[in-house]
Copies of this chain bind each other. A is one copy, B any other.
Amino acid sequence: MSEYHFPRQDAQFVLDHIVEFPLICDRLGQEELNSGLNDAILEEAARLGSEVLAPLNKIGDQAGAQMVECGVQEAAGFKAAYQQFVENGWPSLAGDPAYGGQGLPKTLSTAVMEIWQSSNMAFSLCPLLTQGAVEAVSEHASDALKKTYLEKMISGEWTATMNLTEPDAGSDLAAIKAKAVPEAGNYKIFGQKIFITWGDHQMTDNVVHLVLARLPDAPAGVRGISLFIVPKFLVNADGSLGARNDVKAVSLEHKLGIHASPTCVMSFGDSDGAVGYLVGEPHTGLACMFTMMNDARQGVGLQGLAVSERAYQHALAYAKERLQGTLRDGSRLAIINHPDVRRMLMLMKSGTQAMRALTYVAASQADNLEVLKTTGSVSDAAICQARLDLYTPIVKGWITEFAQELTSLGVQIHGGMGFIEETGAAQHFRDARILPIYEGTTGIQGLDLVGRKTLADNGQSLFALLDEISCELASLEVGEIFTQELSNAIEAEQSVRDGVDWLLSHKEEAPAIGVNLMMSLGYLCGAWLMLRSAGKAQALSGNTDTDPLFLESKQVSARFYCEHFLPRVKMHLQTMKAGSASMMALEIEQF
């Protein structure tokens, strides 16, 4: 059994020194968090994660979910764990206090979510998707719908799902065919949805489905999609549960990973139609969906960090134990002492630290936005929102791709044992493989980055990010020992800037080069934040109660990141500038 421990020291360092979370709390008027409450929350979450969720991770992988007569039966132990999770108030952490939420900052709830996702990614997908649905309902639904649904979704008493994909409509949402027919002031929903995560289970009394469908008068394409709430059980006026709605899970997928997370084929309206309630205005489903999805995309990026961290801990424990090679005195050597194993561990360690820094920075941007919405100018808030939007495809795209490499290294460090399922290293590798696919593939993230996030504003918000990176690197005090790393990072930033200029003068190349630009930007952001970390660690050395061994390791980790990952920035850009000519040159018959 692999144990999981929240990497408290690194997370705390990122919170305190990279995103300056205490300052955010002050600005949000939540100063009380700084007097020990943040720490207490993280400590409690870490305990639940390690003691309750983590031990279920392998059990869930082996048992999976099953179709039974009443619907989908989740793996043994999951219901009790979920009930404890709800009773302890974890789902409501960042929820709106008007609906029973605790209104805590997004940065904090992100750190807590890292714990859930590392402990048990398959389990924690359920609250992650519910949170996305909460965002969509909060922002777009009528007060009546909010009154009926929001409180129980925020508390976790009910879970929620995102019903987008259909057999012919995956990345191409324009092809959605599910129908919504007006009836008795509401709607009847008909259609089939696939790949619905946690589409059914027995952990809660009700499941709230958010469903994209077309009204009868809908225009073709994405401008004709509307969003509906379709509960598993109808809700009476007094809030009690009524009749079973005409929606059910009809089958489960047999997947490569996240076995404990039921991936359902959902059927709506097999009998007389599933009762649905319109969220927002007709035909604005795409916007509502993006509210839900942008939150989920950041969450999936966080999963990439979380599963990499878990894989790292797993591999590290093995590397400390496994003996191979003998010293002259006859004693045997743990493989962590072999340079190539050390190389792989350092790749995992420095890589997850960079992921964590970027994920928390992106989350803190949401809190900054909250502050600006009340105290800032409209234009400052807009700039902040644009930065948050820009981070989304980087967090989702770069981190989830990066997680493929890091979880694979976790297997490799185990040698032959890594290929044996019993060891558990392979589970993280299998689980991670979904991350660059769901909630918008890496290709879709690339398109989002170059299209909506760059060409749409002529590069303005991307240049603003690069300006910030460039200014910070130019003034960073990391001493002589980082001269080379700093100069490489400055050069890398300049390369990305050139790359964006190239894109702006080669707009027609955008669809072909998105992924390479995104990857280069991700590795650059990682270097920027790791160098910031090195600077902070140096500044803290000697005059602080922070563990000096940790501060030293943080600098080593930053240097290693710059040596091993920073060169990738230029590599991706060089490839990017080759454009699409050879990519698109062949006729289909030539493949």
Contact = CB atoms under 8 A, between A and B. Distances in A.
Interface stretch (A115-123, A234-242, A378-386, A437-445): A437-445
A586 B515 CA distance: 34
A36 B251 CA distance: 53
A245 interface: no
Given A556-B590, A567-B570, 7 more contacts: A170-B416, A171-B324, A175-B332, A253-B422, A256-B426, A336-B591, A416-B437
5 contacts: A253-B420, A255-B419, A256-B411, A337-B588, A553-B590
Given A254-B422, A324-B172, A316 B443 contact: no
A556 B571 contact: no
B339 A512 contact: yes
Q: Which of A175, A340, A404, A586 has the most CB of B within 10 A?
A: A340
Nearest to A342: B583
A575 B320 CA distance: 25
A433 B419 contact: yes
Contacts of A552: 590
Contacts of A419: 253, 255-257, 433-434, 437
Contacts of A578: 563-564
Given A434-B419, A568-B571, A591 B349 contact: yes
Given A172-B324, A172-B325, A343-B512, A567 B560 contact: no
Contacts of A325: 172, 174
A343 B583 contact: yes
Contact of A582 (B257, B415, B556): B556
B323 A511 contact: no
A586 B550 CA distance: 10
Contacts of A420: 253-256
Interface string A545-564: 00001101100100110011
A443 B585 CA distance: 38
A156 interface: no
A345 interface: yes
Interface of A: 165, 168-172, 174-175, 194-195, 221, 253-257, 316, 320, 323-326, 332, 334, 336-346, 349, 404, 408, 411-412, 415-416, 418-422, 426, 429-430, 433-434, 436-438, 441-443, 446-447, 511-512, 514-515, 549-550, 552-553, 556, 559-560, 563-564, 567-568, 570-571, 574-575, 578, 580, 582-591
A293 B340 CA distance: 21
A interface SS class: helix
A339 B571 contact: no
A590 B408 contact: no
A349 B585 CA distance: 13
A326 B571 CA distance: 34
A168 B416 CA distance: 12
A264 to B, nearest CB: 13
Nearest to A323: B168
A416 B342 contact: no
A588 B337 CA distance: 8
A591 B345 contact: yes
Nearest to A441: B415
Contact of A588 (B336, B447, B559): B336
Nearest to A587: B549
B412 A437 contact: yes
Contacts of A175: 324, 326, 332
Contacts of A580: 339
Given A257-B419, A429-B433, A583-B339, A575 B588 contact: no
B254 A412 contact: no
A221 B411 CA distance: 28
Contacts of A194: 416
A447 to B, nearest CB: 7
A524 to B, nearest CB: 14
A582 B482 CA distance: 12
A149 B324 CA distance: 34
Q: Which 6 A-B pairs have the closest CB atoms?
A: A340-B443, A563-B578, A172-B324, A339-B512, A560-B582, A553-B590
A531 to B, nearest CB: 14
Given A341-B443, A556-B585, A430 B195 contact: no
A346 B412 contact: no
Nearest to A324: B172
Contacts of A174: 325-326
Given A324-B171, A433-B419, A340 B446 contact: yes
Contact of A567 (B323, B429, B438, B574): B574
B585 A563 contact: no
B255 A338 contact: no
Contacts of A438: 416
Contacts of A422: 253-254
Contact of A556 (B334, B411, B426, B586): B586
A346 B421 contact: no
